[in-house]
């Protein structure tokens, strides 16, 4: 948990004008994307092309960040015509995918979140996570094992959803509920927080970097955003993070990412007293990465037995 050594139709035009938002061009260009990515003129049926354009518009809301966007901004980002984007948004309103929040501004409806929850259903159960965490605890000679997942209702944060700590009383170990539920929510503190942050879209990373460091954070927390950003690149390169007193004084840690279908879902965290683990040995790193890989395999999309 500390400083890491690894770690348009006229209607569309009016909407675009009403947003007052400068178009985004990050990595996208209308000239470069006259057709949906990966297609060429006449290579697919028009129905398929339209579906891809709808998905592009949906994806734009997630990648642009912020609460609402206008057709002009989405068109610039996706490379689609303003009129196409406007028609997709209008159709999406009736399909309960988008909603209009102001003149010229739209956002995803909560039904989009319901789709995500449905996609995650039955991916991982408590018995499975407990088995994996207990095996990690055994493999690391009694380390404290935690499972953190991306919090669904609190923006770019994390939430502890399971742990294997044996007979340990967290209060006796110096961990208060405030430590577990407050300091460790931030993605800019701790090995597990930085592990999750490293794989989030850049727009969410920038939001987290703009947050203040939690007052109760440990002495090893990253306070310099440049150093924090460098640590994220290190996490992606190595596939794990090492933390040194980031969340709490006297505790060091190792974390590895849980990836489902190419998206970051959480992290496995192994915690030990600094006096016992001044530096995480290779055995701890490999055991933590294997536990995360196991939970990633359980979450991977695959047909159920009756569909096979």
Domain co-membership, 175 together with 239: yes
Domain co-membership, 149 together with 292: yes
Kindly state the tokens that stand for 106: 């739209």
Give the dihedral of Cα atoms 134, 234, 206, 290; nearest 10 deg: -20
Averaged pLDDT, 7-19: 39
Reported pTM: 0.64
CATH of the domain at 181: 3.30.450.40
Averaged pLDDT, 23-48: 38
Domain co-membership, 76 together with 219: no
Whole-angstrom Cα Rg for the chain:
22
Domain co-membership, 101 together with 232: no
Would you say 261 and 245 are in contact if contact means Cβ atoms under 8 Å apart?
Answer: no
Q: Is the dihedral of CA 249, 251, 254, 258 positive or negative?
A: negative
In a domain, 256, yes or no: yes
- Weakest-pLDDT range from 99-108, 165-174, 198-207: 165-174
In a domain, 304, yes or no: no
**Domain boundary residue, one of 56, 87, 115:** 115
Kindly state the tokens that stand for 49: 């092309």
User: Of all helices (H) and strands (E), which one includes residue 87?
Assistant: helix 82-94
Averaged pLDDT, 179-188: 71
Give me the pLDDT at residue 247, please. Answer: 87
Give me the pLDDT at residue 308, please. Answer: 41
Structural domains in the chain (count): 2
**Domain boundary residue, one of 78, 98, 115:** 115
277: confidence class by pLDDT, cuts 50, 70, 90: very high
- Residue 14 CB partners (closer than 8 Å, separation 6+): 104
Domain co-membership, 79 together with 142: no
**Domain boundary residue, one of 74, 96, 115:** 115
Instruction: Express each pLDDT in 223-271 by its tens digit.
Output: 999 999 999 999 999 999 999 999 889 999 999 999 988 889 899 999 9
Q: Give the domain range for residue 110.
A: 48-115
């Amino acid at each position: 948990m500390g400083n890491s050594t690894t770690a348009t139709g006229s209607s569309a035009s009016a909407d675009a004008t009403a947003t007052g938002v400068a178009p985004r061009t990050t990595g996208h260009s209308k000239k470069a994307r006259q057709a949906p990515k990966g297609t060429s003129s006449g290579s697919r049926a028009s129905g398929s092309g339209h579906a891809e354009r709808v998905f592009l518009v949906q994806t734009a809301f997630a990648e642009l960040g912020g609460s609402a966007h206008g057709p002009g901004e989405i068109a610039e980002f996706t490379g689609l015509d303003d009129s196409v984007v406007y028609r997709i948004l209008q159709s999406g309103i009736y399909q309960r995918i988008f909603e209009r929040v102001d003149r010229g501004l739209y956002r995803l409806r909560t039904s989009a979140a319901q789709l995500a929850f449905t996609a995650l259903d039955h991916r991982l159960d408590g018995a499975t996570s407990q088995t994996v965490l207990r095996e990690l605890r055994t493999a690391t000679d009694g380390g404290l094992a935690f499972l953190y997942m991306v919090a669904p209702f609190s923006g770019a944060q994390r939430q502890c959803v399971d742990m294997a700590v044996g007979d340990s009383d967290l209060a006796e170990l110096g961990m208060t509920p405030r430590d577990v539920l407050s300091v460790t929510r931030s993605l800019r503190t701790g090995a597990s927080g930085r592990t999750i942050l490293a794989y989030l879209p850049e727009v969410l990373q920038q939001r987290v970097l703009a947050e203040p460091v939690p007052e109760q954070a440990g002495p090893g927390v990253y306070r310099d955003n440049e150093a924090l950003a460098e640590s994220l690149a290190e996490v992606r390169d190595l596939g794990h993070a090492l933390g040194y007193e980031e969340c709490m004084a006297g505790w060091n840690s190792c974390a590895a990412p849980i990836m489902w279908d190419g998206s970051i879902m959480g992290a496995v965290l192994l915690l030990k007293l600094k006096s016992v683990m001044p530096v995480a040995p290779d055995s701890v790193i490999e055991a933590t990465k294997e536990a995360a890989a196991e939970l990633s395999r359980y979450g991977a999309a695959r047909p159920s037995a009756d569909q096979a």
